[in-house]
């Protein structure tokens, strides 16, 4: 499946396509998939860690979504519904994953973080930039060691900018669980980087 750039459609147009797809119209589902492909691919890339695994994940997700489209009830957006399928597919794949997947994933997360990071700090002195770069590298390493579900929630919150409600909907859990999980990850980061005050 190639990377398609989806064009915006209105909620009414999307609802019409969903209705047609639920009645067995494969062309309507393909149109839906095209509209959402790019944003979902970016999500798959962040989860998987490289283009090839992301493509495999996307194919798996779209096939599962096509098979289950009749189960879509409109309680959440179509994108959120497909994102939930993606999370489940990804976690299922990780149970059979290879040991180097974590390294690949960290590299991809680093690629996402670094451009924004350096553009924000480009005007600062190089020593501080180097220090912050090392801190970011440690954060990425630490994220690679936390359980998959916790890491996904952290990425959804701090990279995707999703709300706790949206994360809970996507992960199929409660808002309270999301908040507790995010707190645990952030607290772990805070403890890892806790440094004694230097008096001077």
pLDDT above 90 coverage of the chain, percent: 30
74 vs 23, more confident: 23
Which structure tokens are listed for 158?
Answer: 């701090």
What does the pLDDT read at residue 120?
A: 42
> Under a CB-based contact definition with an 8 Å cutoff, are residues 32 and 18 in contact?
yes
Least confident range from 74-83, 87-96, 147-156, 176-185: namely 87-96
What does the pLDDT read at residue 101?
A: 47
Q: What DSSP assignment string belongs to the chain? A: -----PPP--HHHHHHHHHHHHTT-HHHHHHHHHHHHHHHHHHHHHHHSSHHHHHHHHHHHHHHHHHHGGG--SSS-HHHHHHHHHHHHHHHHHTT--TTHHHHHHHHHHHHHHHHHHHHHTTS-HHHHHHHHHHHHHHHHHHHHS-HHHHHHHHHHHTS---HHHHHHHHTS-HHHHHHHHHHHHHHHHHHT-------
Statement: residue 163 has pLDDT above 60: yes
The residue count of the chain comes to 200
152 vs 145, more confident: 152
* Cα distance between residue 25 and residue 65, in whole Å: 13
> Under a CB-based contact definition with an 8 Å cutoff, are residues 142 and 188 in contact?
yes
What does the pLDDT read at residue 125?
A: 52
pTM summary value: 0.61
Label residues 112-141 b or e (16+ Cβ within 10 Å = b).
Answer: ebeeebeeeeeeeeeeeeeeeeeebeebbe
What does the pLDDT read at residue 169?
A: 86
* Cα distance between residue 34 and residue 18, in whole Å: 13
Report pLDDT digits (tens) over 94-150.
776 654 444 444 444 444 444 444 344 444 455 665 555 566 666 767 777 788 888
> Under a CB-based contact definition with an 8 Å cutoff, are residues 83 and 77 in contact?
no
Q: Please give the domain boundaries of the chain with CATH numbers for all domains.
A: 11-94 (1.10.1740.10), 101-192 (1.10.10.10)
What does the pLDDT read at residue 106?
A: 46
Which structure tokens are listed for 93?
Answer: 């794949």
pLDDT above 70 coverage of the chain, percent: 70
* Cα distance between residue 106 and residue 99, in whole Å: 13
Report pLDDT digits (tens) over 29-64.
999 999 999 989 988 888 887 888 899 999 999 999
* pLDDT (average), residues 164-169: 89
């Amino acid at each position: 499946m190639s990377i398609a750039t989806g064009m915006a459609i209105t909620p009414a147009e999307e609802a019409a396509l969903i209705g047609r797809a639920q009645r067995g119209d494969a062309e309507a589902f393909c149109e839906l998939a095209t509209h959402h492909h790019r944003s979902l691919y970016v999500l798959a890339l962040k989860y998987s860690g490289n283009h090839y695994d992301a493509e495999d994940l996307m194919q798996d997700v779209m096939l599962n979504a096509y098979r289950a489209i009749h189960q879509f009830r409109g309680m959440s957006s179509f994108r959120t519904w497909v994102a939930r399928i993606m999370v489940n597919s990804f976690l299922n794949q990780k149970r059979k994953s290879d040991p180097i997947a974590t390294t690949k994933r960290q590299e991809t997360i680093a690629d996402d973080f670094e451009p924004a990071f350096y553009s924000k700090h480009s005007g600062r002195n190089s020593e501080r930039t180097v220090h912050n770069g090392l801190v970011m590298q440690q954060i990425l390493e630490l994220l690679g060691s936390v359980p998959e579900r916790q890491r996904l929630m952290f990425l959804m919150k701090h990279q995707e900018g999703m709300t706790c409600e949206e994360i809970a909907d996507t992960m199929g859990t409660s808002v309270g669980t999301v908040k507790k999980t995010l707190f645990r990850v952030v607290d772990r980061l805070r403890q890892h980087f806790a440094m004694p005050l230097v008096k001077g």
